[in-house]
Amino acid sequence: MRDFISMKDFTKGEILRILKLAKSLKENPQGNLLGDKIVSSLFFEPSTRTRLSFTSAAYRVGAKVLGFDSPDATSLKKGESLRDTIKMTGAYSDVIVMRHPIDGAARFATEVSNVPIINGGDGANEHPSQTLLDLYTIQEEMGKIENLKIAFVGDLKYGRTVHSLSKALSMFNCEFYFVAPDLIQIPEHILKFLNNRNIKYTLVDDYKDILPEIDVMYMTRIQRERFENLDEYEKVKTVYEIDKNSIVGKCKEEMIILHPLPRVTEINIDLDDTKHALYFKQAANGVPVREAMYAIALGKYHLDEDEMDVEKRDSISAHEEIQCKNNRCITQIEKTRNKVLEENGIKYCYYCGREIK
């Protein structure tokens, strides 16, 4: 069994084997691979693509699905804890897919669950299944992942897709451009992660000057629901809006535009029929990728990690006297052991990944 919580939990070799399995399952469907398994789909936040593609993936490999798409119809409304919800759901199923608004909720769930956990997005923290389908799309369209120039545009502060993807792409020697106003620029803890791995990146507030240089433009929605101060959201909600006129003829011929969706106004529909627009194909790629995740999580396929692939694992320890200061962290809501990761002398929250100072 294998959990899917963070891209930090996987080596480069493992990621490539996951993508290879996804391609195999797409080309050679296995409709009864998980015919004896039940998936619990627990979505504590709204979702269209992630929830439906995980459900579709389960059906395509023969699994049955139970769960909910809103906490409003569950015992959470009566005050039940996440701990108890996960414990009970694990008794009814063989794997749990969960999306939760609190950072670190998925990592916490692994500590109380007796079945594998697949993180469908936890707050502003990570979204590993989205990252894997992003990598799959890049590999399929560009023919490689190594040594590409990637521009992340939009909400980089709260964008869990950006956080996960930048961590994963750091294994492939990519160069990053983080395009955002200061208010929603990439968090410091992500930059420290990249610095520790000697990854080249540039922070800019306009994509126009770098457009001729990049291979992938990764657009993101400004996420109103993540802002504690809505006045700040109003300042930046339409800061980046691209259309055919601003992109076509001004970028590389082979440049691709990705977006985790949903979009609002950041990509004009007149770009949809251009060769650069890959976001709908990207979303469709989520099905075979999530089929592969199920197969690995439930032990139908093993990644067979080579000794050469194994990186030095972070040091993990419990510090009851140390508490994460991120007020959106699961440690503020559930009773935990306040686990701390230490890397290169810097301490991070085990659950949400924020630096502990």
Give pLDDT tens digits for 60-82. 999 999 999 988 878 888 889 99
Q: Do 70 and 212 reside in the same domain of the chain?
A: no
Q: Which CATH number covers residue 74?
A: 3.40.50.1370
Active site residue 99: yes
Domain for residue 89, yes or no?
yes
Q: Do 51 and 112 reside in the same domain of the chain?
A: yes
Average pLDDT over the chain reads 91
Average pLDDT over residues 28-54: 95
Q: Do 102 and 24 reside in the same domain of the chain?
A: yes
- Among 8, 37, 50, 100, which one carries the catalytic annotation? 50
Q: How far apart are CA 299 and CA 294, in angstroms?
A: 8
Q: What is the token pair recorded at 262?
A: 């949903």
Question: Binding residue per annotation — 50?
Answer: yes
Minimum mean pLDDT range among 63-77, 199-213, 279-293: 63-77
Domain for residue 323, yes or no?
yes
Q: What is the number of structural domains in the chain?
A: 3
Q: Do 134 and 275 reside in the same domain of the chain?
A: yes
Residue 207's pLDDT is: 95
Residue 51's pLDDT is: 96
Question: Binding residue per annotation — 51?
Answer: no
Q: How far apart are CA 119 and CA 205, in angstroms?
A: 31
Q: Do 33 and 109 reside in the same domain of the chain?
A: yes
Q: Which pLDDT band holds residue 338 (cuts at 50, 70, 90)? A: confident
Structural domain span for residue 333: 315-349
Q: Do 33 and 97 reside in the same domain of the chain?
A: yes
Amino acid 243 reads D
Q: How far is CA 205 from the centre of its chain?
A: 23
Q: Which pLDDT band holds residue 305 (cuts at 50, 70, 90)? A: low
Listed in sequence order, the DSSP H helices in the chain are: 12-27, 49-60, 82-92, 105-112, 128-142, 160-169, 188-196, 230-236, 244-247, 279-284, 286-297
Domain for residue 356, yes or no?
no
Question: Binding residue per annotation — 160?
Answer: yes
- The helix (run of H) or strand (run of E) holding residue 348 is strand 346-349
Q: Do 188 and 266 reside in the same domain of the chain?
A: yes
Domain for residue 137, yes or no?
yes
- Among 12, 23, 49, 237, which one carries the catalytic annotation? 49
Q: Do 112 and 165 reside in the same domain of the chain?
A: no
What's the pTM value of the predicted model, to 2 decimals? 0.91
Domain for residue 174, yes or no?
yes
- The helix (run of H) or strand (run of E) holding residue 179 is strand 175-179
Residue 165's pLDDT is: 95
Q: Which pLDDT band holds residue 311 (cuts at 50, 70, 90)? A: very low
Exposure pattern of 277-305 as b/e (b: 16+ CB <10 Å)? bbbeebbebbbbbbbbbbbbbbeebebee
Average pLDDT over residues 9-27: 96
Q: How far apart are CA 56 and CA 284, in angstroms?
A: 10
Active site residue 189: no
Active site residue 235: no
Question: Binding residue per annotation — 181?
Answer: no
Question: Binding residue per annotation — 107?
Answer: no
Domain for residue 24, yes or no?
yes
Domain for residue 2, yes or no?
no
Q: Do 133 and 154 reside in the same domain of the chain?
A: yes
Question: Binding residue per annotation — 261?
Answer: yes
> DSSP secondary structure string, 193-261?
HHHHTT--EEEES-STTTTTT-SEEEE----GGG-S-HHHHHHHTTS--B-HHHHTTTS-TT-EEE--S
Query: Backbone phi, then psi, for 184, in 5-degree steps?
Result: -130, 30
Q: Do 82 and 191 reside in the same domain of the chain?
A: no
Active site residue 259: no
Domain for residue 297, yes or no?
yes
103-161 pLDDT, tens digit per residue, is 999 999 999 999 999 999 999 889 999 999 999 999 999 999 999 999 999 999 888 88
- Among 2, 17, 107, 127, which one carries the catalytic annotation? 127
Q: What is the token pair recorded at 201?
A: 């990146």
Q: Which pLDDT band holds residue 323 (cuts at 50, 70, 90)? A: confident
Active site residue 78: yes
Q: Do 166 and 101 reside in the same domain of the chain?
A: no
Q: What is the token pair recorded at 226?
A: 């993540």
% of the chain at pLDDT higher than 90: 71
Under 8 Å CB-to-CB from 328, ≥6 apart: which residues?
102, 103, 123, 124, 352
Q: How many CB atoms lie under 10 A from the CB of residue 29?
A: 12
Q: Do 149 and 233 reside in the same domain of the chain?
A: yes
